[in-house]
């Protein structure tokens, strides 16, 4: 395991712990008073527990997605993730507390009142200590659930170990999958063991026999812990209080005078391009770069840029034109005219997109890095040779007997499948399957599907012996890779303009495909691949390995 990967595992594990700690702390703070309130109110209890049960049945990814649209939560990032995890942790905590209180023998309550204790004192001195086993068991369940569900938070840019899992799925990399799954499992087991030890050490004894603990107002509690139990309690306090405070006040702050935040979508090429921007800024300026990679889809990373969560990332002009700016697809071009008009078309799309980005969003589109990564309609090379297929039009007839698979974004974008099918009259034996983009390449190579829409610079095309069909009707617009930054960030750090412009035209499509293959096939990290390429191009600062 490389040192870069190990450092990132530690970083992502810390983020994962913070998400879980804050969510469980909030859920516990809500469940304790709410559970006491509904315990003697059956109708209210049914309503509250029923609502919590409904929340629990909603798929976690759907909850994360729904919370993105809540303005008060600030869009993508850790805030909606913590809210979602809190909602998931509420049901077991509420059920554990209500069940524990309902099992307290009625005679104990009557004896307490006979001794002159009021309702609050009966709850604190008698009922609550007896619910500890049930509550602690519920807390263990809620914590383990939160650790598992928190991996999905990476889909909305909240970080955590799920970043490795999504990246591993996108690149079909088992090492990255294990880098996310194993630490997550270890955190769940460690938290469950610590809470289990705390549960065993907590005991309720007679106030006459044991030194009593007191609340700040002086109310004694018949709850005793030996020294081992106190260490476990200290761990719980750190988990539920200190770590969330560190998240709020001690964590890195974005958009400060000395920090630049670079974002990227969740697949190999974007990780490489994001790392390229980050390393260039680190090498040429004293600024610290925070990497917010694997932010998910185009719309998530664009929203992060608009809201100031990141300062810049690399987009593609065709994606900017159709998916973000909602402009109509370009009119079809006859095949014989495409070579003559392509350069003019690329320049026009970039200029118009640059103007609209500035007017609508206050963002600056920089010139191309030098390559175009268009959607590539791919088939197996053996099928192309056997059937004599070169163009998408050639595949229309055999496609009626084929199955297809596309990424989620391609199925829903303006410049995606629906427009492609309409332009070419493309039909399949059954509706296309939706799956992660990284998995579609393997599905095609393994014969599970017959046609996919990939990326023209993906290193797997040559390795898996796939063939790209020519877009002979000119459906897809130009997809030049262009850095896009916030104008406000460039005003704060004007030195970034020169650094980004120096990257103009540095990368060819062939070079980008080789860099992608180095990550996807040779299992090199994006950091290492970019560092080596920068050295070859004379961009690396002195002293870099």
What SS3 class is residue 446? coil
Give the residue among 94, 202, 186 at the shortest CA–CA distance from 139.
Answer: 94
Phi, psi of 294 (to 5 degrees): 55, 45
> Rounded distance, CA 404 to CA 443, Å?
10
Compute the Cα dihedral for 157, 160, 164, 166 and give only its sign.
negative
Q: Is 512:269 a contact under the CB 8 Å cutoff?
A: yes
Strands 259-263 and 288-292, bridge-based pairing: parallel
Task: Round to whole Å and give the CA distance between 164 and 217.
Answer: 48
Q: What are the domain boundaries of the chain?
A: 3-245, 259-371+483-536, 375-469
Q: What is the pLDDT of residues 315-344, one digit of tens each?
A: 999 999 988 998 887 666 655 555 566 778
How many Å apart are CA 290 and CA 77, to the nearest integer?
14
Classify residue 35 as left (phi > 0), alpha (psi -120 to 50) or beta.
alpha
Tokens 């008060």 — which residue?
A: 72
First to last CA, the chain: 18
- Here the tokens at position 216 are 């700040």
Region of residue 425 (left: phi > 0; alpha: psi -120 to 50; beta: else): left
Fold of 259-371+483-536: D-Maltodextrin-Binding Protein; domain 2 (3.40.190)
Q: Which residues contact 407 (CB under 8 A, 6 or more apart)?
A: 434, 435, 436, 437, 440, 453
Cα–Cα distance for residue pair 78/99, rounded to 1 Å: 32
Q: Torsions phi, psi of 315, nearest 5?
A: -115, 175
Residue 542's CB: how many other CB atoms inside 10 A? 5
Could you give the CA distance from residue 10 to residue 380 in angstroms, rounded to a whole number? 40
Give the span between the Cα atoms of 516 and 444, in whole angstroms: 19
Q: What is the DSSP string of 146-190?
A: HHHHGGGGGGGT--STHHHHHHHHHHT-HHHHHHHHHHHHHHHHH
pLDDT at 222: 43
Q: Which CATH architecture has domain 375-469?
A: 3-Layer(aba) Sandwich (3.40)
Q: Which of 464, 452, 443, 451 is nearest to 517 (CA)?
A: 464
Tell me the pTM: 0.73
Positive or negative torsion for Cα 346, 349, 352, 354:
negative
CA distance 544 to 107: 74
Residue 26 backbone dihedrals phi, psi, to 5 degrees: -65, -40
Nearest Cα to Cα of residue 305 among 355, 365, 361 = 361
Name the helix (H) or strand (E) containing 223: strand 223-225
Residue 15 vs residues 91, 157, 505: alpha-carbon distances, Å: 24, 12, 36
Kindly report the CATH number that applies to the domain delimited by 3-245: 1.10.3720.10
Are the C-beta atoms of 170 and 460 separated by less than 8 Å?
Answer: no
d(CA 70, CA 361): 20
Stretches in the chain below the pLDDT threshold 70: 1-2, 4, 69, 71-75, 106-126, 170-172, 201-256, 330-341, 540-545
Cα–chain-centroid distance for residue 65?
11
Note whether 410 and 375 are within 8 A (CB): yes
Task: Indicate the helix (H) or strand (E) that contains 433.
Answer: strand 433-434
- Asked whether the beta carbons of 403 and 414 are under 8 A apart, the reply is no
Q: Per DSSP, which regions of 347-392 are E strands?
A: 363-365, 375-380
Place of tokens 């009626």: 400
Token pair belonging to 496: 């970034």
Domains 3-245 and 259-371+483-536 share a fold: no
Nearest to 306 by CA among 81, 481, 485: 485
- CB neighbourhood size of 494 (10 A): 9
Are 473 and 423 contacting, i.e. CB atoms less than 8 angstroms apart?
yes
Q: How many CB atoms lie within 10 A of CB 535?
A: 13
**In degrees rounded to 5, what are phi and psi of residue 218?**
95, 10
């Amino acid at each position: 395991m490389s040192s870069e990967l190990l450092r990132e595992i530690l970083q992502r594990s810390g983020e994962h712990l913070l998400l879980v700690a804050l969510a469980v702390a909030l859920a516990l703070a809500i469940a304790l008073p709410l559970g006491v309130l509904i315990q003697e109110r059956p109708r209210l209890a049914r309503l509250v527990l029923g609502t919590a049960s409904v929340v629990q049945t909603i798929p976690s990814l759907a909850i994360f997605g729904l919370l993105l649209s809540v303005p008060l939560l600030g869009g993508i990032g850790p805030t909606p993730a913590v809210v979602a995890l809190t909602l998931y942790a509420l049901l077991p905590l509420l059920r554990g507390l209500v069940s524990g209180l309902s099992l307290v023998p009625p005679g104990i309550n009557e004896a307490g009142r006979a001794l002159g204790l009021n309702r609050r004192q009966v709850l604190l001195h008698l009922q609550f200590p007896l619910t500890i086993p049930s509550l602690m068991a519920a807390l263990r369940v809620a914590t383990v659930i939160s650790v598992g569900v928190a991996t999905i938070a990476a889909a909305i840019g909240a970080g955590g170990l799920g970043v490795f899992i999504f990246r591993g799925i996108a690149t079909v990399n088992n090492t990255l999958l294990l880098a996310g799954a194993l630490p997550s499992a270890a955190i769940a087991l460690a938290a469950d063991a610590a809470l289990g030890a705390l549960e065993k050490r907590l005991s309720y004894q007679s106030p006459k026999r044991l030194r009593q603990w007191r609340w700040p107002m002086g109310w004694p509690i018949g709850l005793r812990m030996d020294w081992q139990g106190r260490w476990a309690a200290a761990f719980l306090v750190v988990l539920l209080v200190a770590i969330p405070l560190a998240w709020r006040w001690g964590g890195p702050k974005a958009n400060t005078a000395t920090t630049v935040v670079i974002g990227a979508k969740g697949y190999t090429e974007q990780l490489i391009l994001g790392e390229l921007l980050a390393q260039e800024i680190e090498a040429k300026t004293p600024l610290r770069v925070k990497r917010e990679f694997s932010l998910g889809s185009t719309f998530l990373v664009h929203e992060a840029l608009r809201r100031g969560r990141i300062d810049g990332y690399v987009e593609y002009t065709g994606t900017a034109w159709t998916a973000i700016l909602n402009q109509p697809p370009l009119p079809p071009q006859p095949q014989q005219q495409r070579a003559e008009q392509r350069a003019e078309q690329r320049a026009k799309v970039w200029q118009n997109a640059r103007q609209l980005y500035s007017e609508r969003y206050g963002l600056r589109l920089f010139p191309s890095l030098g390559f175009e990564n268009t959607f590539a309609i791919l088939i197996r090379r053996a099928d192309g040779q056997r059937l004599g297929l070169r163009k998408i039009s050639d595949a229309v007839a055999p496609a009626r007997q084929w199955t297809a698979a596309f990424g989620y974004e391609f199925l829903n974008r303006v410049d995606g499948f629906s427009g492609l099918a309409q332009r070419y009259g493309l039909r399949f034996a059954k509706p296309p399957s939706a799956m992660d983009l990284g998995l579609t390449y393997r599905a095609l190579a393994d014969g599970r599907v017959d046609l996919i829409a990939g990326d023209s610079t993906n290193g797997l095309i040559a390795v898996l012996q796939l063939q790209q069909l020519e877009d002979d009707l000119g459906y897809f617009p130009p997809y030049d890779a262009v850095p896009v930054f916030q104008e406000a960030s460039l005003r704060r750090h004007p030195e970034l303009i020169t650094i980004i412009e120096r990257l103009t035209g540095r990368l060819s499509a062939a070079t980008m495909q080789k860099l992608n293959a180095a990550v996807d096939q040779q299992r090199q990290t994006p950091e290492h691949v970019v560092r080596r390429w920068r050295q070859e191009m004379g961009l690396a600062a002195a002293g870099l390995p």
